[in-house]
């Protein structure tokens, strides 16, 4: 896994996305269209809501609101650790990281359910398009059980972490060494 992360770092190092980059909006809109047309996705109301939220029109509205309030900041590499008990959560964390112009490493629990599997397969399908090479090179899904070596390694170089979970999870990640200016956003119980 560490080797895979190092390969990602080499590829992503020189790729820069801007907040609300056109390519990011196109990518998310393509995901919206794919979700809307998928019979499998239609079984899940949360995926239909996600599809509606990811529409280009809505993303432009979000962009306008955030620019108006001067709330868009790209900081570099973001490590997302979503809760495993709320399947849809990882995608929203990832979307905010992407729309902010960041490179994203997203931990996925091996205990993932049907929604997570479906979303990741759709994302990976869209990322195969040459048009989305920049996003492919700045996105890494890491599926692993709790593993101190991997979490410590990733925490050591990222510029920000979005950690979701119980108090035990939050406290565990607070103990991991980070860069002095690493920004943490913790969502505890």
Taking residue 10's Cβ as centre, other Cβ atoms within 10 Å add up to 9
Q: Which residues contact 113 (CB under 8 A, 6 or more apart)?
A: 87
Residue 69, pLDDT above cutoff 80: no
Residue 70, pLDDT above cutoff 80: no
Residue 120, pLDDT above cutoff 70: yes
71 — pLDDT class (breaks 50, 70, 90): low
* pLDDT tens digits, one per residue of 11-25: 999 999 999 999 999
Whole-model pTM: value is 0.94
100: nearest Cα among 28, 177, 14: 28
Supply the mean pLDDT for the chain. 94
Of 111-115, 151-155, 178-182, the least confident: 111-115
* Cross-strand pairs, 106: 80, 141
Higher per-residue confidence, 148 vs 68: 148
* pLDDT tens digits, one per residue of 79-96: 999 998 899 999 999 999
Are the CB atoms for 100 and 73 separated by under 8 Å?
yes
Q: Quick check: helix, strand or coil at residue 160?
A: strand
Please state, in angstroms and rounded to a whole number, the distance separating the CA atoms of residues 23 and 49.
22
């Amino acid at each position: 896994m560490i080797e895979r992360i190092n390969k990602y770092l080499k590829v992503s190092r020189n790729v820069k996305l801007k907040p609300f980059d056109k390519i990011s909006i196109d990518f998310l809109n393509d995901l919206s269209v794919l979700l809307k047309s998928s019979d499998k996705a239609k079984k899940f109301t949360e995926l239909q809501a996600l599809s509606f939220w990811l529409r280009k029109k809505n993303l432009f509205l979000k962009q306008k609101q955030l620019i108006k309030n001067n709330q868009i900041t790209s900081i570099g590499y973001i490590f997302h650790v979503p809760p495993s008990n709320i399947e849809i959560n990882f995608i929203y964390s990832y979307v905010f990281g992407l729309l902010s112009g960041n490179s994203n490493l997203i931990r996925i629990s091996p205990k993932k359910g049907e929604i997570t599997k479906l979303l990741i397969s759709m994302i990976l399908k869209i990322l195969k398009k040459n048009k989305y090479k920049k996003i492919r090179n700045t996105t890494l899904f890491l599926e692993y059980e709790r593993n101190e070596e991997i979490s410590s390694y990733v925490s050591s170089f990222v510029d920000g972490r979005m950690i979701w979970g119980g108090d035990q999870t939050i406290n565990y990640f607070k103990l991991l060494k980070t860069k002095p200016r690493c920004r943490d956003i913790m969502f505890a119980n």
